[in-house]
Chains A and B, each alone.
Chain A
Amino acid sequence: MSQFAIPSGWEVVIGLEIHAQLATRSKIFSGASTAFGAEPNAQACAVDLGLPGVLPVLNEGAVRMASLFGLAIDAEISRVSSFDRKNYFYPDLPKGYQTTQLARPIVVGGSVTVTTGEGKQAREDTIRVTRAHLEEDAGKSLHEDFHGMTGIDLNRAGTPLIEIVSEPDMRNPEQAVAYARKVHAIVQYLGICDGNMQEGSFRVDANVSVRPEGDETLGTRTEVKNVNSFRFLQRAIEFEIERQIDLLETGGEVVQATRLYDPDRDETRLMRTKEEADDYRYFPCPDLLPVVVDDETIESWRAELPELPDAKAERYQSEYGLSAYDAGVLTSSRATAEYFEAVVAREGADAKLAANWVMGEVAALLNRLECEIGACPVPADKLADLLERIADGTLSNKLGREVFEALAEQGGSVDEIIEARGLKQISDTGAIEAMVDEVIAANPGQVEAYRGGKDKLFGFFVGQVMKAAKGKANPQAVNDVLKRRLDGD
């Protein structure tokens, strides 16, 4: 964890612009595929290439997905929205303009609840969303591999995006990250975005400014781009806060500018100042009709909404008796929640045990393998098998971890692993009694001392029995028998 703290006397103001690629099969204005990873320019049709004479036709799926997001954050869905052209020249922008929604966005208002801190420090804040609008993505400029030239890949050109613009409601980097994570979770819950930050499906730009505590007017802001993980988002904002405060404290001033975050150097770099920014010459796109959505359609979309993170977290608390924190962690991504729910779906499952395992062993494993829960080598049904064996006393927690490791490394079934490794816990009272009697017989001095009042020696006996059982004895049973034999007789 970073050692960052906002210097006292300063207030930080953060707003985020999030671009989420919508998971439509075809592009926003053409029939070309949106799948990631194809050969360069293999998925760019005449419309995407901006050939002379072509025209855009709006993909209604994109309108539905954007509206689902609006409904999920309790925003207003515009009955009439429209497209504008944002004009600028860049090689990966085929038409010389981006078709976007400036004047009349599809989603207006709404808010997202974020939680920061743990336990007593935990606090909940409402971050307002200004708007979310539909637009088309640009292509990619590839600057490497072309010997000083630039390659243009237009596969991404025309992929539908929603740009989600927040109000400047966040006051520290943790809040900003919590907000971004929550939006990330919502779009994934809705199934409207795959959320892949490495592939650029979910991109976050941060507007950051600082001002002396108590000031009413906002400080000059900078916009930080090129942040492709939540960790980098946190770092980029922290760096920018420190940089701006340093400037102001040493008599300098913040210049309104767009800055790029460089994760290798962990710093932000000037990209262009406001004076250098293009005049985008927005005007209504004459090739597209206004998008009209009626109440009936909106209600049918509302009916499609799945259970969203906040509602799910509340249910986990009331239904499974989980803490607010645990419920928050387990619902933080759709995939985690799905995994957890698949585990507790097993009849007789212990939800608290499942929650501990998902947040403990499973999270640690994923961390170690740097993989997503969807690709977890121990699938939910295997974990459910494992927890069943712990609940029925076949395995101790410790042995359970060993089986879990085996499942992760080599797969197979839980029972086969238990069988093959002889990991079955010894719960048979007769066998344990025999081992306990042996230990008592072999350590008369310690028995004497214990019975004379040295209670702490109880642990010694447990250890000896476990040693004799090679760790496989049911600890509860060992305790019970030892107590009976040492105290009772």
Chain B
Amino acid sequence: MSTSDTPQRGGDAALINASIAQLRNGLSAGEYTVADLAAVFARRIETIDPSLNSLVSRVEPVEPASSTGRLAGIPFVHKDIFCAKGTRTTCGSRMLADWVAPYDATVHERLTQSGAVLLGKTNMDEFAMGSSNENSHFGAVANPWDTNAVPGGSSGGSAAAVAARLVPFATGTDTGGSIRQPAAFCGVTGIKPTYGRVSRYGMIAYASSFDQGGVIAKSAADCALVLGEMAGFDERDSTSADRPVPDYVAGLDESIRGLRVGIPKQWFSDALDPAVGDAVTVAIDELRAAGAETVEIDLPDADIALAAYYLLAPAEASSNLSRFDGVRFGYRCEDPKDLQDLYERTRSEGFGSEVKRRILVGTYALSAGYYDAFYRRAQKARRLITDHFQRAFEQCDVIAGPVTPTPAFDRGAHSADPAKMYLEDIFTIPVNLAGLPGMSVPAGFVEGRPVGLQLIGRHFDEARLLNVAHQYQQRVDWHERMPSFAADSANDNREG
């Protein structure tokens, strides 16, 4: 693509903070071209990302397939778990460090058909296993709000890239909180749809019965626009839901007067950093101010949910990751002396330690003699958690609470203690066990680090979640705050 000779007026700063709808209007009005827009963001990636490491690959923008689609000309990046034909797709692993996807994920197909322009692939915890993005073969990612802090994970690169205004939106995936937690840590808006809402075809599997693709963007309105393009039945994914996709944008402006918001009392306990609790409480007050009613609800057994998740997800992962054996694609060890050696060294060298830990846990959980004690009991726990939510939704329309127990922690803070790291997911994992849609919405700061408000809906009630989040964002400006890091860079960039 070529850029127009005359640079647009108003500078990059206006563009990088614009909503997707505003960018579409600007393109339609001819204020700038698709190529201009791609160039603005590509330039930011080039200058800012080296200090963030949010991308593992940059992609040369191509002319969009549509000039009229709802995302026509809008730049974006993929979490590097989505296959896009001809692009390196690493899943954050040495195992796939040089693997070029020979086909398109359904999500990629749909976004590009809508006209979105891919600029790169984002860093992530290896095979989506992690809550800090420290488990990446391509190195840790810095949180744009505080470069000593982690961006969260596993979609840490996507959240950091959006927070730093490197792109208007990014894709992510959420197996146990991997969209919502990094969105919260980076002060951006993220939605994990209902399991089955977005096709998993071409999205590299971690734990198939939990994995769900979604969006990270600056606002609920942008998430609504993008999700509407991504979602829908896919005959190539048997677990995708064959039901119509509502117009998420059309529902944004509805009033939330009379909406019943459930507040899980167990979530506001000792496990929650009081400062985070305060920020979330203030956010809930704002919902009340917008006309919503709050009801206290019961969501017990979060500890059981955590334990069940850390058996079931590794069990599925141990099977899903068997295909990385050095035989057909991906990393292969040097000079294997026999088949056993090929398997052992390829997998020992190709996988990082967290991935190996989960493969071991999962293998153990499925082994003869342990299956009933571990896998089967965990499945029962999963049903129990699902029942808790079902009962809760008899009393309320959405659930609101914290996304994480703490704000973003420092890099290295939990690396010695995986179990401590797993506790980061205690409020997000139950949602995945039940397959419900969940959002993370920026709700303030604690010592300069963002805090997220989690909204959870009934199955396939994304429209309502987006509506509530949007109404909230009409009353606050947390989501419009830009890290000074990115702002400075924007200025540098404009001047340079």
Which A residues fall within an 8 A CB radius of B?
Answer: 46, 49-58, 85, 87, 89, 91, 94-97, 150, 152, 279, 281-283, 286-289
Contacts and interface: CB of A to CB of B under 8 A. Distances in A.
A281 B366 contact: yes
B250 interface: no
B103 A51 contact: yes
Given A49-B328, A91-B339, A281 B367 contact: yes
Chain B interface, DSSP helix/strand/loop, else mixed:
loop
Given A94-B323, A288-B238, A51 B366 contact: no
A87 B316 CA distance: 11
B326 to A, nearest CB: 10
Contacts of B469: none
7 contacts: A49-B328, A49-B329, A52-B89, A85-B319, A91-B327, A91-B339, A283-B319
* A51, A57, A58, A152: residue with the most chain B Cβ atoms closer than 10 Å: A51
B244 to A, nearest CB: 19
B16 to A, nearest CB: 31
Interface residues of B, number: 45
B346 to A, nearest CB: 11
B103 A46 contact: yes
A58 to B, nearest CB: 7
A211 to B, nearest CB: 27
A152 B316 contact: no
B200 A55 contact: yes
Interface of B: 82-83, 89, 91, 96, 99, 101-103, 105, 200-205, 207-209, 235-239, 315-316, 318-319, 321-325, 327-330, 339, 343, 363, 366-368, 371, 375
B248 to A, nearest CB: 25
Contact of A53 (B201, B324, B363): B201
A98 B370 CA distance: 21
Contacts of B321: 96
Contact of B323 (A96, A287, A288): A96
Contact of A95 (B323, B329, B343, B367): B323
A46 B83 CA distance: 12
Given A89-B325, A96-B319, A289-B239, A52 B96 contact: yes
B363 A281 contact: yes
B238 A55 contact: yes
* A49, A281, A289: residue with the most chain B Cβ atoms closer than 10 Å: A281
Contacts of B375: 283
B316 A89 contact: no
B322 A283 contact: no
Contacts of A150: 339
B350 to A, nearest CB: 13
Contacts of A289: 238-239
A87 B363 CA distance: 10
B323 A50 contact: yes
A96 B329 contact: no
Given A46-B103, A53-B101, A94-B327, 20 more contacts: A46-B102, A51-B103, A53-B83, A53-B202, A53-B205, A55-B200, A55-B237, A56-B238, A57-B236, A57-B238, A58-B238, A85-B319, A87-B319, A87-B366, A97-B319, A152-B327, A281-B363, A283-B319, A286-B316, A288-B238
A51 B329 contact: yes
B204 A52 contact: yes
Nearest to A95: B323
A152 B342 CA distance: 15
A102 to B, nearest CB: 12
B337 to A, nearest CB: 12
A52 B99 contact: yes
B201 A54 contact: yes
Contacts of B329: 49, 51-52
Nearest to A45: B103
Contacts of A282: 366, 371
Nearest to A92: B327
Contacts of A89: 322, 325, 343
Contacts of B209: 286
Nearest to B83: A53
B329 to A, nearest CB: 7
* B83, B101, B328, B367: residue with the most chain A Cβ atoms closer than 10 Å: B328
A55 B319 CA distance: 14
A52 B324 CA distance: 9
A481 B205 CA distance: 91
A270 B174 CA distance: 48
B56 to A, nearest CB: 15
A214 to B, nearest CB: 34
Nearest to B81: A53
A287 B238 CA distance: 7
Contacts of B330: 52
* B96, B201, B207, B238: residue with the most chain A Cβ atoms closer than 10 Å: B238
A94 B325 CA distance: 9
A97 B366 contact: no
